[in-house]
Amino acid sequence: MKIIAYGIRDDEAPYLKDWEAQHPDVEVKSESKLLDEDTVKEAEGFDGVVAYQQKPYTKAVLDQLGQYGIHALSLRNVGVDNVDADAAKANDIHVTNVPAYSPSAIAELAVTEMMRLLRNTKKFEDKMRHGDLTWAPDIAEEMNQQTVGVYATGRIGREVVKIVKGFGAKVIAYDPFPNPELQKEGIYVDTPAELYANSDILTLHAPALKENDHMINDETIGQMKPGIRIINAARGSLIDTDALIRGLDSGKIAGAALDVYEDEVGIFNTNFGSFDKIPDARLKDLMKRDNVLITPHIAFYTKVAVKNMVQFAMDANLSLLTTGKSDKEVNL
């Protein structure tokens, strides 16, 4: 059995080696480059492919895998929206993902950013860098006084609920498919508009589905409580960036924390050498604001999560190869 793993970073390599040591009957090739039209030829002669990237899995790539007789593609991440579904089906390629590598990792960063916004840490850090160690006017608010609105209560959303409850915050939530346990607690509201209107902090944990594209826009921002703070550690496409900027400019939105950004591909996880060389004016506008926190899609980036992403994906690929199925197979 032979599996090639594309896009393996230095931080992933030890976990791939551990998996390989536990499966001596499987030949594993680690490839640092991403899977694309140029590198797909490296997969010839292999039985399965494991990959992780923001670049698309194009028809050309999937057709080539099909020609090599490869029918098992395992992604080390959740999202599959960058997979050409028609090409995968045409080539009988079964695709798996890692639906839950560490819900706690994402939830903990989301709550960390809530606290940073409430305590004005970015403002104080900037003042202190300039020798200003005064307090006023940046008085903080307390989490125990907030109503936190959680949009979508899957694994990550439920972790957020658990954490903010520990701070004593009031929690409300919206999900078109309510969780039975949370439903018993009575935290759900009936509509997104009700969630927006009653939340001091709104945290998004919805998937990147077509119907969720730009769900945060001028209209929905208009439904929100004045002075709301918005957290997005889910998918960049959930927020219309221009609408967010307008909301910040007007003061309707008191602050935002974004770990994802709708135009992040080719920008996040890239070293441009200096702030001026970042090739996105809107992103730089947001980064300059003292009430906006930007992190470059790092919510997942913990030792536990990275280990699980690698080893769960390898397990899923091996399962496809040996049994023809996996509990992590996605329906494209």
User: Catalytic residues, which ones?
Assistant: 235, 264, 297
Question: Helix or strand or coil: residue 20?
Answer: helix
Residues 6+ apart with CB under 8 A from 331: none
Nearest to 216 by CA among 188, 192, 249, 190: 192
| Main-chain phi, psi angles of 228, to 5 degrees | -65, 150
Phi and psi for 277 in degrees, rounded to 5?
-85, -5
Nearest-angstrom CA–CA distance, 278 and 294: 13
Q: What is the Cα–Cα distance from 332 to 327, expressed in whole angstroms?
A: 14
- Residue 136: Cβ-neighbour burial (10 angstroms; 0-12, 13-18, 19+): exposed
Structure tokens that stand for 278 in this block: 């970042």
CA torsion sign for 245, 246, 250, 254 is negative
Give 25: exposed, middle or buried? Use CB within 10 Å, 0-12, 13-18, 19+: exposed
E strand or H helix at 6, and its extent? Answer: strand 2-6
The Cβ of residue 271 has, within 10 Å, a number of other Cβ atoms equal to 6
Helix (H) or strand (E) holding 230: strand 228-232
> 17 Cβ partners below 8 Å, 6+ apart?
none
Two structure tokens written together for 36: 């694309």
Angle at 282 between CA 153 and CA 209, to 5 degrees: 30
Structure-token pair, residue 92 = 């009988």
- The whole-angstrom separation of Cα 86 and Cα 90 is 6
